Structure 1
Amino acid sequence: MTRTISIASRFNGPPGSGNGGYVCGLLAKEIDGPSQAILRVPPPLEKPLTLEADSYLATLHDGDVLVGEAKPVAFDLVAPPAPTLAEARDAAKRYAGFADHRYPTCFVCGQSRPAHDGLDLFTGKVEGRDMVACTWTPGADLADANGIVRPEFIHAALDCPSYWALTHAGKPALLASLTASIDAALPRTGEELIVAAWPIREDGRKHWGAAVLYTAQGAVIARAEALWIEPKQA
Structure 2
Amino acid sequence: MATLRIPRRFNGPPDSGNGGYVAGLLAEQRGEDAVTVILRSPPPLETPLDVRDGRLYDGDALIAESTSGKLERDAPPIVPYTEAVAASDTYVSIEMFASCFVCGSGRADGLRIEPGRVSENQVAAPWVPDDTVPMRPLLLWAAMDCPGGWSLPGMLHRPALLGSMTAIVHDLPRVGEHCVVVGEYHGEQGRKCFASTAVYGDYGRLLGQAEQVWIRLT
Structure 2 stretches lacking a partner, 5+ long? none
Give the corresponding residue for 1:174: 161
Q: Which amino acid aligns with 1:21?
A: G
Give the corresponding residue for 1:132: 123
Question: Displacement of 1:129 after TM fit?
Answer: 5.9
Question: Displacement of 1:34 after TM fit?
Answer: 0.7
Equivalent pair of 1:77/1:223 in contact (CA under 8 Å): no
Q: SS of the residue aligned with 1:141?
A: coil
Give the corresponding residue for 2:102: 108
**Which moves more between the two structures, 71-80 or 149-158?**
71-80
Question: Displacement of 1:52 after TM fit?
Answer: 3.3
Separation in 1, partners of 2:61, 2:92: 35
Structure 1 stretches lacking a partner, 5+ long? 144-148
Match runs of 1:85-104 below 5 Å: 85-97=81-93, 100-104=94-98
Give the corresponding residue for 1:122: 114
Separation in 1, partners of 2:180, 2:154: 23
Match runs of 1:30-179 below 5 Å: 30-31=29-30, 32-52=32-52, 58-97=54-93, 100-113=94-107, 115=108, 117-126=109-118, 128=119, 130-143=121-134, 149-170=135-156, 171-179=158-166
- TM normalised by structure 1 equals 0.87
Question: Displacement of 1:135 after TM fit?
Answer: 0.9
Q: SS of the residue aligned with 2:97?
A: coil
Equivalent pair of 1:81/1:218 in contact (CA under 8 Å): no
**Percentage of identical aligned residues:** 42
Separation in 2, partners of 1:154, 1:80: 15
Equivalent pair of 1:83/1:218 in contact (CA under 8 Å): no
Number of matched pairs? 216
4+ long deviations beyond 6 Å: none
Q: SS of the residue aligned with 2:77?
A: coil
Equivalent pair of 1:175/1:226 in contact (CA under 8 Å): yes
Give the corresponding residue for 2:203: 217
- TM normalised by structure 2 equals 0.93
Separation in 1, partners of 2:97, 2:140: 20
RMSD: 1.5
